[in-house]
Amino acid sequence: MAARERRNRALEQLESFRRRVPHVSASALSAVLTEAKRQGIPELTSRADVQEARDVTMQQKTPYGELYKSVDLDHVKAGQPKVRLNYVNPFALLSVLLATCVGFSSFFEQVLLDKPSTAEQPWSLVLYSDEVTPGNQLAIANDRKIQVVYWSFLEFGSALSDENLWFTISAKRSSQVHDILGGMANLLGALLKVLFVYEAFELTGIRFKLASGRSVRLFAKLACFVQDGGAHKITWHCKGDSGHRFCMLCRNVVSMGSELADVDTDGNVFCNIIKIDDLDFATDDDLIGSVQRLHACRLTDGADDFEDRQIACGFTYMGYSLMTDPELDGVVRPATQFLHDWMHCIFASGIWNIVLQFTFKALQDARRPDVYPLVSTLLQHWRWPVRMRQTKLHEMFTMARRVTNNEAKRFKCQASEGLSLYAVLAVILACFTECPHEFMVYLLLCDLIDCFVAVSRGGSVDPSLLKDRVHAFLQAFCSVYGYEFMTPKFHWLLHFPKHLEEFKMLIACFVHERKHKMVKRYANDVLNTTVFEFSVLSEVLRNPFLRNPFSLTLWLWSAQTRSAQFGFVRSWLAQPSSAMFGPSSLQLF
């Protein structure tokens, strides 16, 4: 009885303490109290002390100067003060990580042994940029939207699926990016000059000291920009999916009307070319020359003529272009460095969402209105992996969702949910005998997705195999549904075999979406917006320095030879149903 009373008093004390401090989650408060009990309370505890402790990291000296630097960029309006861009010195950051994070340093050293970096064979640096929306996403004016830029090396291979191997270099509010002459292109241009012009990453290499004590010299070149369609548009100032020339990589592709125009956020366009051999690919010189002529004609053309010229060449004049910056001559190669992201292509209001919806609609029209409840029931009985035992994917197949999907003409879900569902739904849809042609289109799409997944997991997929899968799917889709239902993302598929041949891998932006969560976590709590970017960058960088997420298991795991098969869906279809479903679900058919 006395023990119970003591515990009640302790619980009352804990509850009183919790209500006296600002709100934090129960898990966070528990972690703070546990750490305080284990290590003791720090001597300095004020808000100013907390900020100063965080900023110590940003102020430390490295062989390549301070971690935190800035550069001034021209304002979009002549005569206005320049816009300050704060960024993380990539060489200083890499030197600190290699010297202090033993796990990452060991991983880095192992990759260097497997793929030496020399002036003749430099490593391949990849950039990723995207807009992150912290705070209230439905706000009329969300001033917390941030344009973030990450970078990494293609030599890391399948380990690039770990968000810790993508390093943040800048985080600039979108409202201030709009004030920069050329917008995001000028911002990326400034960062490229830091990487490849001022420090000469590519020409002389950068020397680093590893945690093991070994000194190495790293050479690198700009390999590619991996982005979604919107980011590519603001980077290259191409017309994008809404333009008459919606693909800047193709010289013979023009836009046409689409039946999905009223609901397609990608623009009122589609392409009736479904064979890679029918495409006329643009070269680096083609694109650079086109933009240079556009900038020259800005001074001579009238307003109407210049507008027609922009439409004809597929680019928009923004005052600055990566392709016309003389300091980036030889660094930027637009056609060669353009890399589509297959996650956005397939699962972000993409091809899978359209094809799955068409398949469901065909089953409904074939007098199977029960397809949604049947799929929901079967998903509840599916033998999911242990990590997904608590999944609620079946809740996406309610009758209310059927109505909204029919109105949208696409299956609405998150990209990660689509990745979890695509193969399972292929097995379930195989149980329906109606609509065999529509099911075959879906199955061919799953074959194609299997290839993408296998590449991301380190599997060996030949570009010719990927090309065959793309052609088979597009041909089947056009035969069943017609060209008029194709959106620009269908055209993206024709470029992936060439991407795979050029870069030896395909990057999916699932990892970047996970990386965005850290940016959002800290950006949501920053109330002093006068130093917004500095605060976000400081928090994002300080977190890995203290927590040191690069464990030895990371590099040991990724350094191993990993094989990933393709054709997952067809192998599952060959299994007996009892291996996939619970016994009660088999009676539904």
Segment 83-92, tens digit of pLDDT: 999 999 999 9
Q: Annotate 214-244 with b (16+ C-beta within 10 A) or e (fewer).
A: eebebbbbbbbbbbbbebbbbbbbbbbbbbe
- Higher pLDDT, residue 542 or 40: 40
Cα–Cα distances in angstroms (integers) from residue 507 to residues 31, 124, 500, in the given order: 35, 13, 10
Q: What is the pLDDT of residue 32?
A: 86
Report which DSSP code applies to 584. G
d(CA 52, CA 29): 22
- For residue 132, the cross-strand partners are 146
* Beta strands in 273-413, from DSSP E residues, in sequence order: 338-340
The string of DSSP letters for 447-512 reads HHHHHHHHHHTT----HHHHHHHHHHHHHHHHHHH-GGG--HHHHHGGGHHHHHHHHSS---THHH
User: What's the pLDDT at 144?
Assistant: 79
pLDDT tens sequence across 148-181? 999 999 999 888 988 889 999 999 988 899 999 9
Q: Which range among 10-14, 78-82, 577-581 shows the weakest confidence by mean pLDDT?
A: 577-581
- Give yes or no for residue 474 having a pLDDT over 90: yes
Out of 44-53, 258-267, 573-582, give the one with best mean pLDDT.
Answer: 44-53
Alpha-carbon dihedral angle through residues 557, 558, 562, 565, given to the nearest 10 degrees: 110
Copy the structure tokens of residue 259. 């039946």
Mean pLDDT of 102-122: 91
Average pLDDT over residues 258-264: 44
In the predicted structure, residue 418 carries a pLDDT above the cut 80: yes
Instruction: Check pLDDT > 50 for residue 552.
Output: no
373 neighbors 364 (Cβ within 8 angstroms): no
Which pLDDT score, from 0 to 100, does residue 57 have?
Answer: 63
Residues contacting residue 518 through CB under 8 Å, at least 6 positions apart:
163, 540, 543
Report the distance separating Cα 469 and Cα 475, nearest Å. Answer: 10
> Residue for token digits 């507008």?
307
CB 227 within 8 A of CB 129: yes
- Taking phi over 0 as left and psi of -120 to 50 as alpha, with beta for the rest, 95 belongs to alpha
Mean pLDDT, the chain, rounded, equals: 83
The span from the CA of 72 to the CA of 545, in Å, is 28
Mean pLDDT of 394-422: 91
Indicate whether 419 pLDDT > 80: yes
For 407-416, 490-499, 553-562, which range has the lowest pLDDT when averaged over its residues?
553-562
| Nearest-angstrom CA–CA distance, 513 and 137 | 16
Closest by alpha carbon to 465, among 482, 452, 480?
452
224 - beta bridge partners?
A: 126
* Segment 478-522, tens digit of pLDDT: 999 988 888 889 999 999 999 999 999 999 899 898 888 888 888
Taking only the tens place, the pLDDT of each residue in 308-362 is: 888 888 898 999 999 999 999 989 999 999 999 999 999 998 999 999 999 999 9
Whole-number pLDDT of residue 140? 62
CA distance 445 to 563: 22
Give the β-pairing of 83-88 and 123-132: unpaired
Backbone angles phi, psi at 167, to 5 degrees: -105, 130
Between 388 and 146, name the one with better pLDDT.
146
pLDDT score at 22: 83
pLDDT given for residue 525 in this prediction: 75
Entry pTM:
0.86
By percentage, how much of the chain surpasses pLDDT 70?
Answer: 85
The neighbour count for residue 6, using CB atoms within 10 Å, is 10
Residue 80 reports pLDDT greater than 60: yes
**Which pLDDT belongs to residue 190?**
94
Q: Which residues contact 282 (CB under 8 A, 6 or more apart)?
A: 248, 249, 250, 251, 335
Q: Is the pLDDT of residue 562 over 60?
A: no
d(CA 402, CA 389): 25
